[in-house]
Structure 1
Amino acid sequence: MNDSATFAGTSPEAAALAVAPFNVMVFDGQGQTRFVSREAVRQLGLPPGTDLAGRPMLEVARLCAFRGSLGPGDPEALAQQLMAVDRSKPHRRVVRGNDGRWLEMTSEPLPDGGFASYAYDITHHHQARANLTEDMRRLEMALQQQPGGVGVFDAEKRLLLHNDAYERVLGMIPGTLHRGTSLADVQANVLGQYGMDPAIREANAERSQIDRSRPHDEVRTLPDGRTIRTTSLPMASGGFLVTVEDVTALRRAEEEAQLRFATLRGVLAALPYGICVYDSSQRLTMVNDAYQRILKGAELQVGEYLLDICRRREAAGEYPPGITAEDIYQRQFRRDQPPRTRRRHDGTMIEVRNAPLPDGGHINVVADVTALHQAEAKAKQRADLLQAMLDNMRHGVCLFDRESRVVALNGLARQLNGLEPEECLPGTTLTEIRELQRLRGEYREGHMAAYYACMAPPDKRSSYIHQRLDGVVVEVSTDPTPDGGFVRTYADVTEERRIRRALEEARRTAEDASSAKTRFLATMSHELRTPLNAVIGFSEALLAEDGMPPSGMEFSAAILDAGRHLLSLIDDILQVSQLGSGGMAAQTRALFLPSVLDSAQRLMRGAADQAGVAFVVEPLPQHLPRAQADERRLRQILLNLLSNAVKFTPSGGTVRLAATSLPDGQVDITVTDTGIGIAAEDLPRAFEPFVQLETTHDRRYGGSGLGLYLARAFARTMGAELTLESTRGAGTTARLRLAAARTPAQEQTA
């Protein structure tokens, strides 16, 4: 039996707090639960009537955490965090419970060192009606039904009858009393239990003088700490009836109720929400300070009637235009209405709730939601801004949550998916969208791969291509978001795909043309070699004839030189065609370089002397390593480089041939001249086929423009690299870098 609750229930404040539509818990300075509202019990999912009073705060904190009232996360950690809050100061926070409700939790310190905790449901769900009053009624009934001790005495103060509770309450051994026992003997027995205590002796002496012909009631405390209430009522027979009741628990409950009463008044005073209570006649019986503060300028006075209050506020302009005092008055009795929000004349926003009381009255709760309203307005403004950004993006964008439901999208996303606005509202699932598209034939036979691709779990970045019925090609990309959802972007790549196909077709056409050119060059080179060989052969035969006149000899020599030059040009063209068709594979081996360099310089010595150019071969290093190369290709490269150097070096200039070893085993062969050089912007073109950097019709230097092209091509076929370093008017250096030998040393080549 909870006597304190019964006592608290006698005050309007306690009744109001018990049925308040928000969670209230009160803890004393020792961390013990002093009060828990029914709404708190309901929010925790506990059986109705569960009494949490007296439980340690940590136990209640864990209960809240494991019931999901503190939000997601480790319940034990959440409970410890709650215990760590400094309760000597006001504390406020907003959490979302596991059941989806948003709760504003407030903690306010109390004068006795404890604190009060409130949880206000700001999601506008109806709170369960508290039934604390019913609990108090049951406790009161339980108190009234408790059996008390009863003793009936005759006019001579002798015991006529009694019940077992009479002996039990007086602390006697059952069976001690019997019919005829005098009242003095009863009192002596009680006195004997406490060793003839002086206070008991004095009390018994006083009781022996009581006039039993008149009602008498007294409460006394025994030495063992119990409190006994004794009532004496006269009877018509001249005797009297004595009832004894152990009211120790009641006395303690009264003290506890007084403490609770003071605590509840403190709670109501410290409550951050405005509360006022009306009785069944609609007269104001209680209002807290928070109500007066929130409705500053429209304060209330206890004793006022609700209709008078409404009319006074209407006259003061408290209500919006078109709302009368009678409208406000009638709203107080509509129990099924959701919370109402209105703007006051000073610009603040308030939320008003009503809840009935068992006595026919009602409680009115007011909360200042100005900050919440402003936050919602800012959130809406930001959402509108983000939507405007989405609508003006060049790609379609659709955001899905972790359940694959649409959160937000722009118009281009709907258009590229072939959807109407009402078919892709927020909350629509990806499955519903794709099924709608499938039924319309968007994913016809041959395109089902895209259908299954779009339905795959979006746990990583991915993309696929989908061609719609109207021919539009859409590239769909998926990117996961940190909250488990994903973003899909839709890009119209129809034109891009068309351009790509055109470029691919152009590339194939160019490749075919290049291949045809290569075949043509190869065929024509072979066809030209046959008559040229005849021309060269006949000119050589004429030069060998005896008796040939000088003019004939001159003509024959000119024909021979021209034929050989033309044959050399045809050979170069044939090699170019072979390179284009991939038929110039090199056979490399570990090559002894001094013999190759010596052979090249012997072949070019005569041409240099004829041109008046000094040809210098730098001394080779003593231990020049072998290089991985094709001897025939290497010799041809060196001859091309030396021939170019001699051709473009004026008479009196110098051409140098040198070779050096590198730390990694490679070998550098350089051909340096003091010729005309090449401009820096022309160096990249020097290796292009059929290119002469001097393009005028009266150019001073002949040639096909294939020498450097073939030299670099030959170098690359055997894994070497050829580069040029040159300055206009200051000569040129050709650098051939050969790879280190991979096989054992070969015999020296001639």
Structure 2
Amino acid sequence: MTSAAGRDEAEAALQLLLALPSAALVFDAEHRLVLANGPARALLALPAEDDPRGTPAEDLIRRLAYRGIYGSGDPEAHARTALALDRSQPVRRLVCATDGRWFEIARMPLPDGGWASVVTDVTRHRHTEAAARDRLRLFDTALRHNPSGIAIYDQQHRLVLFNEPYEALLNLPAGTLGPGLPINAVIDLIIENMPLDPETQARLDARRNIDRSQRSQIIGIRSNGITVRATSQPLPDGGFLIGLEDVTPMRQAEDEAKRRAAMLDGILAALPHGVCVYGPDRRLRMVNAAFRRIVGDGTVMLGEHLMDILRRREATGEYAAPEAVEEVFRRQFDFDRPPTTRIRTDGRVLTGKTAPLPDGGHISVVSDVTALHRAEAEAQRRAALLQVMMDNMRHGVCLFDRDNRVVAANTLACRMTGLTREEMAPGAPLRELRRLQFERGQFGRGPEAERIFRTRATNVVPTLETFTRTTAEGRMIEVSTDPTPDGGFVRIYTDVTAERRALAETERARAAAEEASNAKTRFLATMSHELRTPLNAVIGFSEALAAEPGPPHVAEFASSILEAGRHLLGLIDEVLAVAQAGTGALQVETRALFLPSVLQGAVRLMRPTAEAAAIILVLEPLPELPRIRADERRLRQILLNLVANAVKFTPAGGSVRIAAAPVADGVEVTVSDTGIGMSPEQVERAFEPFVQLETSHARRYGGSGLGLYLARALAQAMEGSLVLDSQRGAGTTARLRLITAMQPQEQTA
């Protein structure tokens, strides 16, 4: 290369730096400024008449620090940090100035030991990226509250992402699924956890081998009547999305299942600039690697005329919206215009800006903003999809941001709050909505409504809560609030008018029934005491008559009166005990007892009754038993009731057997008979007071119907239990469990 050619190339590079829209500064090996273009002088706030060449780099860096370019804080500290960077290595960093602007500072070493610094204002791109991230965060929050189940699988058919409804609609226990699980393993879990008929299982197995690159859909009806629609949707990256929706009756009429769009691949963290330089002859002089990467290597060639480049692009149909070549050419020299945005046929979106050069040529800067453009389009599409989904929900839903302003609300939310769609439009403040509700009587009327409004007007920031309010029309609305991670919250409105009215009616009926039961119990307790006094007198005088000598019939009649009085007294004692049990006043005095002696005593007392009925009464040989804790009199009463019941319902020639055995934490006593037995429904009612199960045998099987009820109440009072095992025509076994005593006592007779 000749020295003239070298000088031309150096001159072209110099002109390029001077024409760059970014601030460019070049320093020599002695760290002194050699060159600063116009934007650099503006950034340094240098007077137009001053020549900054030769200024030490340290002074210029400190000037930038004190101008706030490196951010807030100690300017000297920022200057020392910048000066400490290794100038022999390329450096690129991002800083936020004190006035809120963002700058990208790129430092590149030069062969002579100096370096060049380029400072680019990237504020607009930073703000655009932040706004896009905020929109995505809001839509992700709405997705988590989506009642539909959604899962995304990668190219290897492994689970990448899913929400909680996806797991629930698969009828899987919470926590069963996890990232990385193959689709076939998920199908195995469904088959394992859900009862399926052979046909349904075969259909589910067939889903293992379907072509996931094609959209497919299946509707399954479970045994409990729940209908779930599963949709498999291919994604651009080779994976697929599965959407599950509960389309039971209310959802069956919907035209299409709601599904979540394919996940965004992400927005590029930084967008590089492509630069190309044209000479005064409109021919391409220089192009950087970033421009070739954005536009394509084969698109531009050095020395090619700009008009030829534009015509070739028109011929190849490079842009989706064709434009006259002459108009595009003219626009290249309209240097005061804002950046132009154009969409290529391959879907990429480019922005371009041109600036004049001192030699009559111009520079063109191109940026690829495809990610931002696609993010905005996808955000709008997802916002529209979210609104459609919310408008078809059976609950009122309203999403608020961290500033307590409406983000989105469905039609049902407007109806339940008494507000119009226009009043609940995005951006509406919560405080203003509450004021409108108060004025329209949605909080009720009178002082209570005033109190509710004042309390909620001062408490602007809601927390996790659920409350119920009555509207001006008398409807009861349940309002629940769930905070979102970004500082906002979701509010759900449910009309519970019918439910609350039904609960109120049920509570009134329960209270009336309970009062009637208490009145009956109080009556039985009072009357039992009233009857005992005259009966005791009858029994006392009968005993006196029976003991005194006299006519034969007097003694006989006195004995009959005494027997009937004692029977009636025993019945009244049972009624009194039942009344005490109903009022919670049944008292027992427990101590450690030797169970075999109690069992033997009960058998001795009941043997004459059994023999009179031609029933075999047997006490089985007893193993070594621990002492039990019980009230001896009450325990004997339980055993006599159980044996008497067994004898009463066992035909002549049958048998009644008593046995006992140790069990965990106590002893189990069994009384088994070979009597008529009971059906399962009768077993449930056997412990109810005053119940006669054998109504068709009322004369044959007499009694008050209190024995079993009282036996269980006494067992429970002694911390024990009593249950029945019975089968119609196969006899009955009563199982009495008693707890073990903590310390031994003397044997009881």
Taking structure 2 as the reference length, what is the TM-score of the superposition? 0.58
The aligned counterpart of 1:694 is 694
The aligned counterpart of 2:649 is 648
2:617 partner letter? F
1:586 partner letter? Q
Alpha-carbon offset, residue 121 of structure 1: 4.2
Superposition pairs of residues 331-346 of structure 1, within 5 angstroms: 337-344=337-344
CA deviation map 1:238-284 (0-9, x unaligned): xxxxxxxxxxxxxxxxxxxxxxxxxxxxxxxxx96443446789886
CA deviation map 1:517-558 (0-9, x unaligned): 334545665677789889989999999973659xx979x999
Alpha-carbon offset, residue 359 of structure 1: 7.2
- 1:638 paired with 2:639, answer yes
Q: Distance in 1 between matches of 2:370 and 2:25?
A: 26
Is the 8 Å Cα contact of residues 625 and 661 (structure 1) preserved in structure 2? no
The aligned counterpart of 1:138 is none
The aligned counterpart of 1:617 is 619
> Which of 502, 511, 515 is 1:512 aligned to?
515
Alpha-carbon offset, residue 383 of structure 1: 3.3
Task: Give 3-state SS (helix, strand or coil) of 1:509's partner.
Answer: helix
Alpha-carbon offset, residue 466 of structure 1: 3.1
CA deviation map 1:685-734 (0-9, x unaligned): 32222334434367853333321111111222232221223344443332
The aligned counterpart of 2:607 is 605
Is the 8 Å Cα contact of residues 475 and 495 (structure 2) preserved in structure 1? yes
The aligned counterpart of 1:493 is 496
Alpha-carbon offset, residue 502 of structure 1: 1.7
Cα distance change on mapping 1:589 and 1:496 into 2, 3 Å: same
Q: Distance in 2 between matches of 1:489 and 1:690?
A: 51
Q: Distance in 2 between matches of 1:27 and 1:679?
A: 104
Task: Give 3-state SS (helix, strand or coil) of 1:518's partner.
Answer: helix
The aligned counterpart of 2:476 is 473
Q: Distance in 2 between matches of 1:542 and 1:678?
A: 45
The aligned counterpart of 1:397 is 397
Larger displacement relative to structure 2 (669-678 or 705-714): 669-678
The aligned counterpart of 1:385 is 385
The aligned counterpart of 1:208 is none
The aligned counterpart of 1:683 is 683
Larger C-alpha radius of gyration, 1 or 2?
Answer: 1
Alpha-carbon offset, residue 380 of structure 1: 3.3
2:683 partner letter? L
Task: Give 3-state SS (helix, strand or coil) of 1:423's partner.
Answer: coil
Superposition pairs of residues 720-731 of structure 1, within 5 angstroms: 720-731=720-731
> Which of 541, 551, 555 is 1:546 aligned to?
551
1:732 partner letter? T
Q: Distance in 2 between matches of 1:478 and 1:39?
A: 56
Alpha-carbon offset, residue 100 of structure 1: 8.8
Is the 8 Å Cα contact of residues 22 and 121 (structure 1) preserved in structure 2? no
Q: Distance in 1 between matches of 2:44 and 2:612?
A: 115
Q: Distance in 2 between matches of 1:399 and 1:104?
A: 37
CA deviation map 1:456-495 (0-9, x unaligned): 5879633233333333333332333334443332322222
Q: Give unpaired runs (5+ residues) of structure 2.
A: 1-6, 47-51, 73-77, 129-270
CA RMSD of aligned residues (A): 6.0
The aligned counterpart of 2:364 is 364
Alpha-carbon offset, residue 511 of structure 1: 1.1
Taking structure 1 as the reference length, what is the TM-score of the superposition? 0.58
Is the 8 Å Cα contact of residues 35 and 53 (structure 2) preserved in structure 1? no
Superposition pairs of residues 423-572 of structure 1, within 5 angstroms: 423-438=423-438, 442=442, 445-447=447-449, 448=451, 452=455, 461-522=464-525, 546=551, 548=553, 569=571, 571-572=573-574
Q: Distance in 1 between matches of 2:513 and 2:634?
A: 29
Q: Distance in 1 between matches of 2:34 and 2:727?
A: 97
Q: Distance in 1 between matches of 2:628 and 2:691?
A: 34
Is the 8 Å Cα contact of residues 36 and 52 (structure 1) preserved in structure 2? no
Question: Quick one: percent identity of the two aligned structures?
Answer: 52
Q: Distance in 2 between matches of 1:737 and 1:515?
A: 30
1:418 partner letter? G
Length, aligned pairs only: 572
Alpha-carbon offset, residue 514 of structure 1: 1.9
Larger displacement relative to structure 2 (322-331 or 465-474): 322-331
Alpha-carbon offset, residue 87 of structure 1: 9.1
Is the 8 Å Cα contact of residues 22 and 40 (structure 2) preserved in structure 1? no
Q: Give unpaired runs (5+ residues) of structure 1.
A: 1-6, 70-74, 128-270
Is the 8 Å Cα contact of residues 670 and 735 (structure 2) preserved in structure 1? yes
1:580 partner letter? G
Cα distance change on mapping 1:25 and 1:347 into 2, 3 Å: farther
Is the 8 Å Cα contact of residues 592 and 628 (structure 2) preserved in structure 1? yes
The aligned counterpart of 2:409 is 409
Is the 8 Å Cα contact of residues 476 and 488 (structure 1) preserved in structure 2? yes
Is the 8 Å Cα contact of residues 25 and 40 (structure 1) preserved in structure 2? no
Superposition pairs of residues 118-133 of structure 1, within 5 angstroms: 121=122, 123=124
The aligned counterpart of 2:581 is 579
Alpha-carbon offset, residue 607 of structure 1: 0.9
Alpha-carbon offset, residue 363 of structure 1: 3.5
Is the 8 Å Cα contact of residues 352 and 367 (structure 1) preserved in structure 2? yes
Task: Give 3-state SS (helix, strand or coil) of 2:604's partner.
Answer: helix
Alpha-carbon offset, residue 102 of structure 1: 9.6
CA deviation map 1:585-604 (0-9, x unaligned): 21323143455444433322
CA deviation map 1:290-338 (0-9, x unaligned): 6567557995677888789878977987777796567556655666654
Superposition pairs of residues 142-221 of structure 1, within 5 angstroms: none
